Amino acid sequence: MTESDKVRRKTRLFMLGAFVVAGIAFTVIAASGISENLVYYWTPSDLQANGQKAYGANIRLGGMVAKGSIKKLGGSAVEFIVHDGKTRVPVKTSTVPPQMFRENIGVVVEGTMVPGGYFQSSRLMVSHNNEYKAPEKGHPVDRKELERMMKSVEQGNS
Amino acid sequence: MIASLGRILILASLLAAAAGAILGFAAGRTRSADGLKWARRFAYLYSALIVGAALIMVYALLIHDFSVSYVAQVGSRSVPTWVTVVSLWSSLEGSILFWGMVMGLYIAAATFLTRGRYAEYQPDAIGVWLACAAFFSFLIAGPANPFHTVPNPPLDGPGPNPLLQNHILMAIHPPFLYLGYVGFVIPFGFACAALLKGRLGHNVLKPLRESLMLPWIFQSVAIMLGGWWAYEVLGWGGYWAWDPVENASLLPWLTATAALHSIMVVERRGILKGWTITLIQATFLLVILGTFMTRSGVFNSVHSFTQSAIGPTILGFLAAALLFTIALLAFRIDKLESEGRIEGAGSREAMFLLNNLIFVLLTFTVLIGTVFPLVVEAVKGKQMSVGRPYFDSMTVPLGALLLFLLGVGPALPWGRATKEQIKKALIPPVAGAVVFAALGYVLGVRAPWTLLTLAFGGYAAYVTLAQMFVPMFQRMKSGESLGTALIDGQLRRGRRRFASYIVHAAAVLAIIAIAVSSSNRQQLELHFTKGQTQQAGGYDVTFLGVEQRQEPHRLSTVGVFNVMQGGKQVARLEPNMNQYQMMREPIGTPDVHTTALRDFYISLSNVDARAETASITVFIAPMVVWIWLAVIAMAVGALFGLIPAMRRGVIPSAARDPLPGAAETA
């Protein structure tokens, strides 16, 4: 083995090491970035089951607007209750509700639980799902249906 | 009748593709000229059959033959003709048929254009293309069959998804996307052929580069059109949301862009061969992954349809293609002999390598953020998504670094450079950085990342313009006229080089426009009663009232707004709510007043025709139009570079830079 071969091998080893270190650093940064920015798709029952974890987490909450629960708070702010037939969650939003917003309609709100025990929403979307039916009294909403709804109202299609 | 004919054509195309693939691979082994001839004939036959099948579907849509299942699903007598034609790709089965048609066109064109040349690589390349084609024909024949016969045809159908009828861009964006996406199969075929032969010769680099460049151009425009469509139609004032579907279109573009750069290093220095091949193969694998994500219903959005057997089938194909690629790379990558090595950290090839690493990091960033929720759902059954801040915080620094390299790379010479040369190359462009950043600051940019982007952009703009025009001035100094220097030196002999700097200049503009428009954006929510005037970021907005317009396929409720600035009429904007037949909810469409400096955008959140009140969201964002224009300029520049050079086979600037190998012997 010549001297230059030795140098070359050393350089190659050094580069490989640098790549491995950079790769690990990148993975750590990306993983922590993801875990800090997860958005959970929850039903009102999921929200209740998660207790304290719901405070401060990014949540996409899907459910029905409860009958008679819509209250205008002045400006564009609105207060209402989202339920899935089992659990009821009070929601406050300051954004303008979309055209179709009304009682007994499937909605998805994005935001988090705040002290005071209500869900502060920064975005309110109405489901476009044509097949969606309001749940009968006392019967919980089909979970699969809700999940599909939460996925199907995408960015801006409100 | 039409349905049966369609089914027969699809089955025939499946047979033609399968037979052609086998013949191609066999001819690759035996080097039989006759075998290659027959493989080519089968490639043409496949193309004719699949294109024929797609055209028959268009015909069935146009005559409203509801006995064809796909027509019954998306057709409607009440929609305009352009919507009827667009219906071909508006739903799952039709979109895969359209995919097949584009594949047929690409394979026929590639086979024809490379006939009689590259005899070493063509048989295997045709084999790979037709093997992929056979899979998609199988998909159309089975799981995604659009040609079922409907026993009791309905009299009318529901029409395609209203969101897709809302804007003419929906007629343009998908074809461009398919021309990009599907086209990456061609360089994939060449790359696999090179590995199968264990040799990446200099002669095959030209078809490899050009077949990668063409779909890259379409893909670039398609991504821009998708963003533009979202901006004009969805009404949230933005154009990019890191939606999985958007990411699916971006991922192969990132690796393809990296490959277009590394392939130049292969041309110049004969190194990075295996790396370039890997990037090209990764591009096509990401295309298949993107097809799986958008066509299987794992993500719901405008693009995805219902759950079906198509998802697992595509996933199976992805697994097979991935295994084939990895095996090929594992056994053959060592055979691709390197003809040199990287000379030093201050050389242009080192910058190319760095550029490639950043593109790969960007790819991983987006890939992880997109696929992670899928994995969690598959493993734990929990639903979640990765929020936008992750993508923003990861991609902004990487993008800024890329912009920095876009300036530094072209300034450095190939091969070994002295400290003096490096200094001389890197210091003057700082002037450009200072000018751009100062200009931005004066015009109101305060966000640190945006200022940094402006500085890097100014640096890159200086270098790019110098690279574009300094050779021309040198020619003029040595006595040539402006006309000769420009036309002969730049546009003819230096075409590829000149074209690549047009692309770079446009990329600088695009990145600056993206940074400025997103950081200096205003958003306001306003409520109006009829006749009321309100202030919105220096504009006076007056609500003139509500109009209702009945169109054949929809009822439009229009909010009419007058926009004034400094007492002068600027625009009359008409954002609206459209109620489509067969849909319960109305769909809003915003209205935008675009100028060179900024966009004024009104989105209707709520309108009451009886009380004549309206709630709107106003977005005021600078420089948005330059994003669309810059991407178009990138595409035009790249196309310009694809026009065959006057002197075949000569690398344009080879006379000035050291030839490959010269640096090693020096």
pLDDT in tens, A4-42: 777 777 777 887 888 889 889 998 999 999 988 999 989
State the CB neighbour count (10 A cutoff) for residue B379.
8
Sorted by sequence, the CB contacts under 8 Å of residue B29 that are 6+ apart come out as none
Contact yes or no for B94/B102 (Cβ under 8 A) = no
Residue B509 has pLDDT above 80, yes or no: yes
Residue B306 has pLDDT above 60, yes or no: no
pLDDT band (50, 70, 90) for residue B308:
low
Determine the pLDDT at residue B639.
95
**Does the beta-carbon distance from A41 to B606 stay under 8 Å?**
no
Rounded average pLDDT over B504-515: 97
Q: pLDDT above 70 covers what percent of chain B?
A: 94
When CB atoms are compared, the residue of B234, B236, B387 closest to A39 is B387
Which tens digit of pLDDT belongs to each residue from B106-153?
A: 999 999 999 888 889 999 999 999 999 999 999 999 889 999 999 888
CA distance B613 to B606: 8
Task: Give DSSP secondary structure letters for B348-391.
Answer: HHHHHHHHHHHHHHHHHHHHHHHHHHHHHHHHH---EEE-HHHH
Rounded average pLDDT over B169-191: 93
Determine the pLDDT at residue B446.
94
Sorted by sequence, the CB contacts under 8 Å of residue A105 that are 6+ apart come out as A64, A65, A126, A127, A134
Counting other chains too, the contacts that B89-93 makes at CB distance below 8 Å and 24 or more residues apart are B89/B174, B89/B175, B89/B178, B90/B160, B90/B161, B90/B164, B91/B160, B91/B161, B91/B305, B92/B144, B92/B295, B92/B305, B92/B306, B92/B308, B92/B310, B93/B69, B93/B140, B93/B144, B93/B145, B93/B146
Nearest chain A residue to B162, by CA: A128
User: Chain A contacts of B607, Cβ < 8 Å?
Assistant: 99
- For an interface test with B, give the residue of A39, A129, A153 to mutate (most B CBs within 10 A): A39
Characterize B335-354 residue by residue with b for buried, 16 or more Cβ atoms within 10 angstroms of its Cβ, and e for exposed. ebeeebebbeebbbbbbbbb
User: Chain A contacts of B525, Cβ < 8 Å?
Assistant: 76, 95-96
The domains of chain A are located at: 1-37, 39-152
Residue B610 has pLDDT above 80, yes or no: yes
Give residue for tokens 């047009």: B502
Sorted by sequence, the CB contacts under 8 Å of residue A23 that are 6+ apart come out as none
- For an interface test with B, give the residue of A4, A100, A127, A151 to mutate (most B CBs within 10 A): A151
Structure tokens at B31: 């080097």
Rounded average pLDDT over B217-223: 97
Determine the pLDDT at residue A15.
79
When CB atoms are compared, the residue of A58, A100, A156 closest to B236 is A156
Residue B323 has pLDDT above 50, yes or no: yes
Helix (H), strand (E) counts: chain A: 3, 7
Determine the pLDDT at residue B584.
67
Alpha-carbon dihedral angle through residues B240, B241, B247, B251, given to the nearest 10 degrees:
50
Structure tokens at A7: 């140098």
Residue B576 has pLDDT above 70, yes or no: yes
Which tens digit of pLDDT belongs to each residue from B400-440?
A: 999 999 999 999 988 888 888 889 999 999 999 999 999 99
**Closest to B268 (Cα-Cα) out of B196, B205, B362, B216:** B205
Residue B349 has pLDDT above 80, yes or no: yes
**Does the beta-carbon distance from B583 to A34 stay under 8 Å?**
no
User: Chain B contacts of A58, Cβ < 8 Å?
Assistant: 387
Q: What's the gap in Å between the CA of A117 and the closest CA on chain B? A: 23
User: Chain B contacts of A95, Cβ < 8 Å?
Assistant: 525, 605
Q: What's the gap in Å between the CA of B389 and the closest CA on chain A? A: 7
Q: What's the gap in Å between the CA of A30 and the closest CA on chain B? A: 7
In the 8-state DSSP scheme, what is residue A96? Answer: P
Nearest chain B residue to A32, by CA: B390
Query: In angstroms, how far is CA B485 from the centroid of its own chain?
Result: 34
- φ/ψ region of A116 (left if φ > 0, alpha if ψ in -120 to 50, else beta) reads left
**Closest to A109 (Cα-Cα) out of A29, A47, A30, A26:** A47
* Chain B residues with a Cβ under 8 Å from any Cβ in chain A: 163, 230, 234-236, 238, 241, 243, 299-302, 361, 364-365, 368-369, 372, 382-390, 393-394, 525, 527, 577, 583-586, 588, 604-607, 615, 617
CA distance B619 to B520: 11
Which tens digit of pLDDT belongs to each residue from B7-65?
A: 999 999 999 999 999 999 999 999 999 999 999 999 999 999 999 999 999 999 999 99
Averaged pLDDT of chain B = 89
- For an interface test with A, give the residue of B584, B607, B616 to mutate (most A CBs within 10 A): B584
Which of A32-41, A126-135, B302-311, B497-506 bottoms out in mean pLDDT, i.e. has the lowest? A126-135
Q: Across the A/B interface, how many CB contacts are shorter than 8 Å?
A: 96
Nearest chain A residue to B367, by CA: A30
The domains of chain B are located at: 2-394, 522-624
CA dihedral (B77, B81, B82, B84) positive or negative = positive
Q: What's the gap in Å between the CA of B373 and the closest CA on chain A? A: 9
**Does the beta-carbon distance from B394 to A41 stay under 8 Å?**
no
CB contact, 8 Å: A112 with chain B?
Answer: no
CA angle A18, A24, A30 (to 5 degrees): 130
Determine the pLDDT at residue B129.
98
HSE of A5 in the Cβ direction (CA atoms, 13 Å)? 2
Determine the pLDDT at residue A135.
44
Could you tell me which residue, A9 or B98, shows the higher pLDDT? B98
Global confidence as pTM: 0.90
Could you tell me which residue, B300 or A33, shows the higher pLDDT? A33
User: Chain A contacts of B243, Cβ < 8 Å?
Assistant: 154-155
Rounded average pLDDT over B179-183: 96
Which of A120-129, B248-257, B361-370, B592-601 bottoms out in mean pLDDT, i.e. has the lowest? A120-129
Is A39-152 CATH 3.40.47.10? no
pLDDT band (50, 70, 90) for residue B578:
confident
**Does the beta-carbon distance from A41 to B385 stay under 8 Å?**
yes
Digit-by-digit pLDDT tens for chain A (158 residues) are 566 777 777 777 887 888 889 889 998 999 999 988 999 989 899 999 988 989 989 998 988 899 889 988 877 788 999 998 889 999 999 877 877 788 888 888 989 999 988 999 988 887 654 333 444 444 455 666 666 666 665 543 33
Q: What's the gap in Å between the CA of B588 and the closest CA on chain A? A: 8
CA dihedral (B322, B327, B328, B332) positive or negative = positive
Determine the pLDDT at residue B647.
46
User: Chain A contacts of B368, Cβ < 8 Å?
Assistant: 30, 34
What is the length of chain A?
A: 158
Sorted by sequence, the CB contacts under 8 Å of residue A2 that are 6+ apart come out as none
pLDDT band (50, 70, 90) for residue B383:
confident
Residue B653 has pLDDT above 70, yes or no: no
Nearest chain B residue to A130, by CA: B584
Rounded average pLDDT over B184-208: 94
**Does the beta-carbon distance from A30 to B368 stay under 8 Å?**
yes
Residue B460 has pLDDT above 60, yes or no: yes
Determine the pLDDT at residue B116.
85
A61 membership: H or E segment, kind and range: strand A58-65
In the 8-state DSSP scheme, what is residue A60? Answer: E
Determine the pLDDT at residue A79.
92
**Closest to B144 (Cα-Cα) out of B252, B289, B6:** B6
**Does the beta-carbon distance from B384 to A29 stay under 8 Å?**
no
| HEC letters along B535-603 | EECCEEEEEEEEEEEEECCEEEEEEEEEEEECCEEEEEECCEEEEECCCCCCEEECEEEECCCEEEEEE
User: Chain A contacts of B231, Cβ < 8 Å?
Assistant: none
Sorted by sequence, the CB contacts under 8 Å of residue B368 that are 6+ apart come out as A30, A34
Rounded average pLDDT over B279-307: 77
Determine the pLDDT at residue A155.
40
Determine the pLDDT at residue B374.
85
Residue B662 has pLDDT above 80, yes or no: no
Determine the pLDDT at residue A2.
66
Which tens digit of pLDDT belongs to each residue from B513-546?
A: 999 999 999 999 899 999 999 999 899 999 999 9
**Closest to B161 (Cα-Cα) out of B63, B102, B86, B222:** B86
Nearest chain A residue to B615, by CA: A96
Sorted by sequence, the CB contacts under 8 Å of residue B204 that are 6+ apart come out as B118, B120, B121, B190, B194
| HEC letters along B181-242 | HHHHHHHHHHHHHHHHHCCCCHHHHHHHHHHHHHHHHHHHHHHHHHHHHHHHHCCCCCCCCC
Determine the pLDDT at residue B235.
84
CA distance B197 to B194: 5
Determine the pLDDT at residue A157.
36
- Alpha helix positions (H), B478-494: 482-484
CA distance B212 to A129: 40
Contact yes or no for B262/B272 (Cβ under 8 A) = yes
Rounded average pLDDT over B250-274: 94
CB contact, 8 Å: A74 with chain B?
Answer: no
CA distance B281 to B324: 10
Residue B83 has pLDDT above 50, yes or no: yes
Q: What's the gap in Å between the CA of B92 and the closest CA on chain A? A: 16
User: Chain A contacts of B584, Cβ < 8 Å?
Assistant: 100, 130
User: Chain A contacts of B586, Cβ < 8 Å?
Assistant: 99-100
**Does the beta-carbon distance from B384 to A40 stay under 8 Å?**
yes
Rounded average pLDDT over B614-636: 96
Q: What's the gap in Å between the CA of A45 and the closest CA on chain B? A: 14
